[in-house]
Amino acid sequence: MKKVLLTLLGILIILAAVVVIKTYTYPFKKNSFGDAEGWKPAKNDSAVARFSGGIKIPTVSTGSLGEFNYAPFDQFKEYLKSTYPLVYQNTENVEVNKYGLVFKLKGSNPKLEPIVFLSHIDVVPPGDADVKNTEENIFRPDDKPLDPVSKVAEDWDFAPFSGAVANGRIYGRGAIDMKGMLFSLMESMNNLIKSKQTPQRDIYLAFGFDEEVGGKNGAIQIAEYFKKKGLKFDAVYDEGGLIMRKGNVAGVDADVAVVGCAEKGFLSAKIKVKGLGGHSSMPPMESAIGKAAVIMQRLEDHQMKPVITPLVKEFFDNIGGAMPFTTRMALANQWLLKPVLISQLTKNNTTNALVRTTTALTMMKGSDGTNVLSPEVEFVVNFRLLPGNTVKDVREHIAKATKGFDVEVEEIDNTREASAISSSKTKAFKLIEAGVKEIYPGAIVSPYLTMAGTDAGKYEIVSKNVYRFMPIRINSSEQQSIHSTNEYLSIDNYLKMIHYFEFMMKNYDK
């Protein structure tokens, strides 16, 4: 018995030694990070004012079919024309499906594949939260900047379409999502034209107008327009990732710039469950709502299998070197500790979404009376598909969860597969990294999986290099203001974003 115990102890010691050695020798990316200062913006009140004016135009998109009020979109088009005459005069510009805007700045070498930068004109509704200050035309660019918010606000500091400039910020619906990027692209191209620097390859800007409701009339039509013209892009750049402030990525003591090299797919299913209706005084042993509850419990208790995909592995390999030893140990020794690692990842909402197709029960409808049994109950479940899982897999998963019940399943909204994965070894990606280091030298830059949907995926028909990244440095509370209350973009972020895109346009072929 003693020999057995000694043998086991010896095996454990060897195993521990192997784990420690592998942890220290694992090829995590070497990152030079810290608090080094990068490019600092000069005061530019006119650029801020132009952006503020664009926020004041309420280009709200609502409804799954994109049937919304287009009058503000007409106003917005005219605003861009009057605000950026140099861009209109020095580019080939067209309207696609009336409200999609495309600009082409001609390069010196037509043999090179062009690049395209995306944005979208539409914003989500502002909600009905209270407004603290209803004063109009607030423009105080010299205010002392406030620190970033530490929690999501309950009220708007200024009206959502005021475009107020105060406290070192530009306030309003769409400030981050996504007029900030749109106006920074227009400013960057305007500056490039002013400087009379001709890029080697053609540079396109493409702005959709219904991204928030699926992009059917905007981005899809623009991408088809490019395809019909026979265009192939060396790179497509869109929204998706951000620069998360130090402390906002657990365990990493540095800013982390996450670049979406892929995005999750989407499937929303309305499940109608049938049962016996009637008066609640004589209920059946199992009601429609009870049956629906069983199905919903199955969906939540038996979710799709978590897996560390190659893209997520690359993300951890890039940031792992900056993480605590125990985390590095789990990442470096997945041959032994993968079950433990996955168990920990699935306990956190954010990291769980990185490693599995998520399941979210979002809506439910039954009887309208307190004493009425509905013969049919319906609920909606939303899946965000991990690359590697397919729409077919999800449909089979739903069929398994509803087995034994009388149900109807209807897919609503825009079902789509997860996107392809773009390589991080390309010139297009390396330039993102260089652009980030230009403004934030201490940031770690890494490929990432974008959770939400963007217009980017529609452009896979014209490019294999599609990247989702907006170069703004924010914390998690600021990020949560997107589609929520009191959305703002700091003046510093906006001016740095202009410089970043100008850097990209000037240096793509250097």
As a whole number of angstroms, the longest Cα–Cα distance in the chain is 88
How does the average pLDDT of the chain come out, rounded? 95
pLDDT of residue 256: 96
For 176, residues 6+ apart whose C-beta sits below 8 A from its C-beta are: 470, 472, 474, 478, 481, 482, 487, 488, 489
Query: 468 near 239, Cβ under 8 Å?
Result: yes
Pick from 436, 432, 435: nearest CA to 261: 432
pLDDT of residue 278: 77
Which H or E run includes 73?
A: helix 71-83
Cα 34 from Cα 32, distance rounded (Å):
7
* Exposure class string for 25-53: b at 16+ Cβ within 10 A, else e: ebebeebebeeeeeeebeeeeebbebbbe
Give residue 63's pLDDT band: very low, low, confident or very high (50, 70, 90). confident
Give residue 22's pLDDT band: very low, low, confident or very high (50, 70, 90). very high
Query: 258 near 476, Cβ under 8 Å?
Result: no
Lowest mean per-residue pLDDT among 73-77, 150-154, 191-195, 436-440: 150-154
Query: 233 near 116, Cβ under 8 Å?
Result: yes
Phi and psi based region of residue 127 (left: phi greater than 0; alpha: psi -120 to 50; beta: remaining): left
Cα 16 from Cα 173, distance rounded (Å):
53
Provide the residue type at 362 as one letter.
Answer: T
Query: 194 near 87, Cβ under 8 Å?
Result: no
pLDDT of residue 64: 64
Omega cis (within 30) before 178: yes
Give pLDDT tens digits for 207-238. Answer: 999 999 999 999 999 999 999 999 999 999 99
Q: Where are the beta strands (DSSP E) in 144-214?
A: 156-158, 165-166, 169-171, 203-208
Query: 260 near 240, Cβ under 8 Å?
Result: yes
Alpha-carbon torsion angle 470, 471, 473, 478, nearest 10: -20
**pLDDT beyond 80 at 300:** yes
Give residue 329's pLDDT band: very low, low, confident or very high (50, 70, 90). very high
**pLDDT beyond 70 at 34:** no
Provide the residue type at 138 as one letter.
Answer: I
Q: How open is the CA angle 376-381-387, to the nearest 5 degrees?
A: 150
Give pLDDT tens digits for 469-499. Answer: 999 999 999 999 999 999 999 999 999 999 9
β-strand partners of 373: 278
Cα 155 from Cα 481, distance rounded (Å):
11
Cα 293 to chain centroid, rounded: 32
